[in-house]
Structure 1
Amino acid sequence: MRPAQTRTPPASPPSGAAGATQVTPEHDGDPGASLPLDSTPGASLPLDGTPGASFPLDFDVCYRAIAGRDPRWDGRVFLGVSSTRIYCRPSCPARKPKPQNCRFFASAAACVAAGFRACKRCRPDAIPGTRDWDARGDLAARAVRRIRDGAVDSVGVTGLARELAVSERHLRRVLIAEVGASPLQLARTRRAHAARTLIDQTDLPLADIAFAAGFGSLRQFGDTMREEFGDAPSRLPRNGRGARTSVSPGGSAADPASDERPRLALQLRGRAPYDVAGMRAFLVAHAIPGRDAVECRGREAARARSRDAAPIRSRDAVGADPLAPTAHAIDVPGGTATAEIGWEAVREERGTVAIPVALTLPILADTMPAIATVRRLLDLDADPAQIGGALGPDPRLAPLLSRRPGLRLPGARNPQEFALGTVLGQQVSLAAARTLQGRLAEAFSVAPPPGSASEFRPAPDAAGIADTDPAELRERLGLTRARAETLRDVARALATGLDLGPGADRGHARAELAALRGIGPWSVELIAMRALGDPDAFPAGDLILRRALGARTDRETRSLAEAWRPFRGYATQHLWADFLAAQAAATASRSVPHPTHAPGARP
């Protein structure tokens, strides 16, 4: 990887990236990063499964990107202007800088590490994240995912290096080479962007914002914000759109033991388009009694529906009010939070989508973990243009992309809960699987006490399940003997260290899962897709996929899907959604059981 690059381009830049001259970097000590780009704004990155690796930034391509001010480039490259020491998004409406004053970076943290601060006009800090690092399994990608999930705040750089089985020095060297910033700089930029969001959208006191964003002191908060934005926190504009946010005083930095809990109303942003109806329908169809509520209208409705509720049917939410809010349990370090999603108020503007989410938290320190989990659940870091560039050339997928623009790949709010739920969902209908998951939550999690931050139950305890005899699991949950044994074995693996989180070694996790009795390739890939967050996970043995591709064997299915890398998971989601839509249309209003499209699990 090479440092950020600057040069004076030729008077007539070439028309395509293929003929662009390789840039020779200035060795001025500035950290940098590189990113694979082609010459078409919004087109996909090179689809070799390693976005962000071994491709230096091409100056001519990047300069044409800022000349076109196409918002689809935002987040894929950042412009640093050496004459002003400001960094911008490519779509910034400000006057285009001279070529000799331009430097290009692959991350906001790399810009700050090189001495640039965020532009106040285009707000590059407000750009949604990227899934480029999710498509890779190397050390840098795993570290970025863990830092994005708050690992430096919770365990420090030392703990992160220990998790990744490397030295701190090696971790720092790899991240500077690949991303352009050290682990601490990446964490500081993450905290600063989180704090800026809270300053923009809430009425929280600045001290509480510092606490919620993960800063260790007010001095650190002030120094970092000045470094990132060029101003003290008190000088940054608040509620620029005039919207006021009601935040309860409880659970603040001053009084974390208060009975009243923080409630934040936020707008979480992603790249447009976004398939609102499709995502809501998915969450409703997979709602777990005691963990989710549909058709809720505020906290009272959520409270009435959540605890010990009957199994939720998808028709409850797709009838008269298909965009009614939904509420979901979110597991955070301080306990269980509630996220209420206001689907009917979702809006799109200037290439982004804003989804209203009301968070009720145990304490303010849980703000960032809760936001990270909701973003993962709603797949808000996906880039539809990049995904479309990878999948659109396939004539089998192009019509599906047109029918469902912005279709997302929902993530798992709790990887362990999802792995256990996958076992319960083998070879049964979706409704039956949901019922079993509700029983599991009721049997192996503690009901929330009065006055808690959430009306929902926490996720089932894997250790408790691991210590339970399979015969008791059969009786309490209504499982077969084989399924009860598989559930117990998976719980034991989770309780003894099987990591399915953002920084997990995916190859190792897949191998550990596959070694468990009763876990077949389909289950392994489904867990990789939603729990491990692998956008390229692909259950080749899925019967719906084989039927859609006209393949007779798993090997043939994999061969036909090879061109979809590194987004085979999104292709799978499109094919599943199309199958279910066709099935629903064929059966009209008649209630139909969810198809079991997984092949038989290994006995």
Structure 2
Amino acid sequence: MTIAPAVVPSGAHATEWIPDGPYNLAGTVGTLQCGAHDPSFIVQGPDHWLAFRTVDGPVTLLLRQRGPLNGSRIHATAWGAGAASALESLPRLLGADDDWSAFDSPEVRESLPELARKGRYLNPGLRLPASGRMLDTVARVILEQKVTGLEAKRAWRYLLARYGDPAPGAGDIAPAALRLPPTAEQWRRVPSWEWHKAGVDSKRSATILKAAHVASGLERLSTQPGGDAVRAGLGSIPGIGVWTIAEVVQRTHGCPDSISVGDYHLAAYVGAALTGRRTDDAGMIELLEPWKGQRQRVVRSLYASGFRKPTFGPRLSPEDHRAR
């Protein structure tokens, strides 16, 4: 991994990150996006626009991949008070700390299920990103608790549009819709009727408010390895359980072993991919046990293979309680 100087536009900071080996920007950072219409993460062709806050202030970050899969460069341009800080943590965000060498070793590769081997072969540039953005990620994942993805994405868009701030100026090139996620104080100011309009029930909104009240402690967890201390810190917040913890550390710490136990779809998906039959959480854990320590990499490789489990019956439909 190498950081190289780059041409700096007026009023901005810029750098280039040169990954070791194959790299896929979209596949790596895509998990940080809350749907295709996420106001804090907008993709326009090769341009990936992110808006977030750092310890030094807000930042607008533009990422572009240049060159082929092997030998590519990631060009990063940042605007705002947090620009320098964002570029300093750029390699971690892009998955530089995520080492797949053991997973790619002949011994492990030969032990993998066929679909996982296929997924890794088709996507050798996949990394697990580590954003370090605790409150943003916790709030987003709480919105996803026990609802459809459609409902969660809509709630995120609505709340950012109403309570997030415009992203720092990047001239005329940044998308006008780009917005920062709310600060802890802004989350605390969301009134009950706005949560209702966003389609967020009282249990999820209360959990987000509890997280906002301990935001400084949450952010300190970003500097720790994604192990027991981080899990214990997240789990100390009422309303945050094992599924939420797993979904958070996958994104904030790039945890290679974090499995979303309690997910509505995952256990059935893993069972269908590995055995041809659906299974429950206990069955999923048993199936993935041979690759403990690498289980999230196995799951990501299964998804990257293109496999989709058979579907039966009508799809779960969201319920809209906002007019009640």
Higher relative contact order (CA 8 A, sep 6+): 2
Taking a change above 3 Å as real, the CA distance of residues 450 and 339 of structure 1, as seen in their structure-2 partners, is: closer
TM-score when normalising by structure 1: 0.44
1:269 aligns with 2:25: no
The Cα shift of 1:285 comes to 6.5
Partner residue of 2:288 out of 561, 577, 589 = 561
- CA gap of 1:539–1:391, structure 2 versus 1, over 3 A, is farther
Task: Name stretches of at least 5 consecutive residues in structure 2 with no aligned partner.
Answer: 319-324
Answering whether residue 41 of structure 2 is matched by residue 292 of structure 1, we say yes
- Contact 1:269–1:353, Cα closer than 8 Å, also in 2: yes
Residues 383 and 445 (structure 1), Cα distance of their counterparts in 2 relative to 1, 3 Å cut: same
Q: Closer, same or farther in 2 for the Cα pair 1:595/1:549, shift >3 Å?
A: farther
With normalisation by structure 2, the TM-score equals 0.76
Q: CA deviation at 1:497?
A: 5.0
Q: Which amino acid aligns with 1:479?
A: V
Give the unaligned 5+ runs of structure 1: 1-126, 129-193, 203-244, 249-260, 296-322, 597-603
- Whether contact under 8 Å (1:425, 1:433) holds in the other structure is yes
* CA displacement, residues 234-260 of structure 1 (integer Å, 9 cap, x when unaligned): xxxxxxxxxxx2442xxxxxxxxxxxx
Q: Which of 429, 435, 439 is the aligned partner of 2:158?
A: 439
Q: Does 1:360 align with 2:81?
A: no
- Shift of residue 553 of structure 1? 4.6
User: Does the 8 Å contact 1:468/1:488 carry over to 2?
Assistant: no
Aligned-partner SS, 1:268: strand
Report the 3-state secondary structure (helix = DSSP H, G, I; strand = E; otherwise coil) of the residue aligned with 2:72: strand
Q: Which amino acid aligns with 2:298?
A: A
Q: What residue number does 1:338 align with?
A: 60
Give the AA of the match of 1:568: R
Partners of 2:156 and 2:272 lie apart in 1 by 29
- What is the SS of the residue equivalent to 1:510? helix
Q: In structure 1, how many angstroms separate the alpha carbons of the residues matched to 2:232 and 2:28?
A: 30
Correspondence 1:388 to 2:104 = yes
Q: Give 1:556 deviation, angstroms.
A: 4.0
Please show how residues 349-498 of structure 1 align to structure 2 within 5 Å.
352-357=71-76, 359-362=77-80, 366-367=83-84, 369-389=85-105, 391-396=108-113, 397-412=116-131, 414-448=133-167, 456-466=178-188, 468=190, 471-494=192-215
d(CA) in 1 for partners of 2:48, 2:273: 32
1:575 aligns with 2:293: no
Q: In the alignment, is the contact (CA less than 8 A) between 1:525 and 1:537 conserved in 2?
A: yes
**Structure 1 CA distance, aligned partners of 2:194 and 2:236?**
22
Letter in 2 for 1:485: A
The whole-number CA distance in structure 2 between the counterparts of 1:594 and 1:285 is: 19
Residues 129-169 of structure 1, C-alpha deviation per residue, up to 9 Å, x if partnerless?
Answer: xxxxxxxxxxxxxxxxxxxxxxxxxxxxxxxxxxxxxxxxx
Distance 2:254 2:134 in 1: 9
CA distance 1:411–1:346, shift in 2 (3 Å): farther
1:538 aligns with 2:262: no
Instruction: Decide whether the 8 Å contact of 1:329 with 1:337 is kept in 2.
Output: yes
Q: CA deviation at 1:508?
A: 3.2
Give the letter for the 2:289 counterpart. E
> 1:274 Cα shift?
2.0
Contact 1:440 1:477 in 2 (8 A): yes
Instruction: Report how far residue 501 of structure 1 moved.
Output: 0.4
- Distance in 2, matches of 1:383 and 1:497, equals 25
Q: CA RMSD in A?
A: 3.7
What is the CA distance between 1:409 and its match in structure 2?
Answer: 1.9
TM-superposed deviation, 1:405: 1.9
In structure 2, the residue matched to 1:513 is 234
Amino acid at match of 1:557: M
**Identical-pair percentage:** 20
Map residues 110-189 of structure 1 onto 2, 5 A cutoff: 127-128=1-2
Q: Structure 2 CA distance, aligned partners of 1:483 and 1:285? A: 17
- Deviation string, structure 1 residues 549-581 (Cα, Å, up to 9, x no partner): 447453443343233243222222222344xx3
